[in-house]
Amino acid sequence: MSTRKKNILKVIILGDSGVGKTSLMHRYVNDKYSQQYKATIGADFLTKEVNIDSDKVATMQVWDTAGQERFQSLGVAFYRGADCCVLVYDVTNTKSFQSIKSWRDEFLVHANVSSPETFPFVLLGNKIDADDSKKVVSNKDAQDLAASLGNIPLFFTSAKTAINVDTAFQEIARSALQQNQNDADAFEDDFNDAINIQLDNDTNSCSC
């Protein structure tokens, strides 16, 4: 195990166009905010070294995808091998909230994950720095949605003012690591089984 490869956690950010996916990613990775991001085409890619629970180190590879529906056919290329999927909506935009479920389904269809029921999603309601008058998605609705999607973690964030961004990504990293290790364990179990069969055979042949 000492030679074990450093953990790479692949995280995908999904959500409607303009909800702040790129801003969230840049806030988390570079702790910067800008009004000048261009619309994402295809997907952007950033990485960050993360400490999880102060004792585990991993590299998080974040794919920030394009929000426009037209680009959804691209999904396969970017979703595959993901360890965690982040669903983002804009608290000032009802439609972006309504799209969450279809983004999740879209992901599950294309990502080809081993067990869709347990695959980790994290829900983020972004732009909570906005005036209350502009907020159109209630916290209650968001909590209900999170519960209906399998009690997935929910955070209200602001990439602009950095509220909750680090906390949210800590959770994302933890879920991703968990998923990553589950997959690895599943692989190892298979491997052990194979060896056991081999040993049994050996024993049999010796006793003959």
Partner 1 sequence: MGVRSTSQEINRETKERRSHSSSSSTSLVTSLMKSWRISSSSSSSSSSKPSNKSSQSFSGNPTTGTYNDTMNNNLTQTNDGHSNQLRSSNEHRLYSLSRTNSSDGNFDAMSKQQNSTTKSITSPAKTYSPLRYASPSSNQIESPRASLLRQQHNKHSHHNQIYYQHNNNSTISEHSTHKKSSDKYFEDLDEDWSAVIDNYNMPIPMLTNGGNGKSSTSNNNNQQHNDPRNNLSRTSTASSVATSITSTTMTQGQSLQYPQLPNLNTMEAIELEKSQEEIENEREVQELNSIMQRITKFDNIIKGKNVINLQELRQLSWNGIPKPHRPIVWKLLIGYLPANTRRQESLLKRKRQEYTEGLKHTFSDEHSRDIPTWHQIEIDIPRTNPHIPLYQFKSVHDSLQRILYLWAIRHPASGYVQGINDLVTPFFQTFLTEYLPPSKIDTVEVVDPDTYLTEDQKENLEADTFWCLTKFLEQITDNYIHGQPGILKQVKNLGQLVKRIDFDLYKHFQNEHVEFIQFAFRWMNCLLMREFQMDTVIRMWDTYLAETSPETTSSFATSNQSNSSNDGVLSPHTPVSRKPPTFGTPNIDLASPASSASRSNMTTQTNASPAGVSSSDDSSNRFSHTSLNEFHVFVCAAFLIKWSDMLCDMDFQGIITFLQNPPTKDWTETDIEMLLSEAYIWQSLYKDATSHWLK
- Binding residues for partner 1, per CB under 8 A? 17-18, 35-47, 59, 61, 66, 68, 70-71, 73-74, 77-78
Largest Cα–Cα separation, the chain: 82
Cβ 136 to partner 1 shortest distance, Å: 14
Q: Evaluate whether 11 touches 83 at the Cβ level (below 8 Å).
A: yes
Q: How far is the CB of 45 from partner 1 (least distance, A)?
A: 5
In angstroms, what is the minimal distance from the CB of 80 to partner 1? 9
Instruction: Find the angle CA(134)-CA(139)-CA(143) to the nearest 5 degrees.
Output: 145
**Four-CA torsion 188, 192, 195, 200, nearest 10 degrees:** -170
* Smallest gap from residue 140 Cβ to partner 1 (A): 26
Asked if residue 129 lies in contact with residue 160, where contact means CB atoms within 8 angstroms, the answer is yes
- Calculate the CA dihedral of residues 124, 130, 134, 139 and round it to 10 degrees: 40
Q: Give min distance, CB of 20 to partner 1, in A.
A: 11
CB under 8 A, 24+ apart: contacts of 49-52: 50/9, 50/169, 50/170, 50/173, 52/170, 52/173, 52/174, 52/177
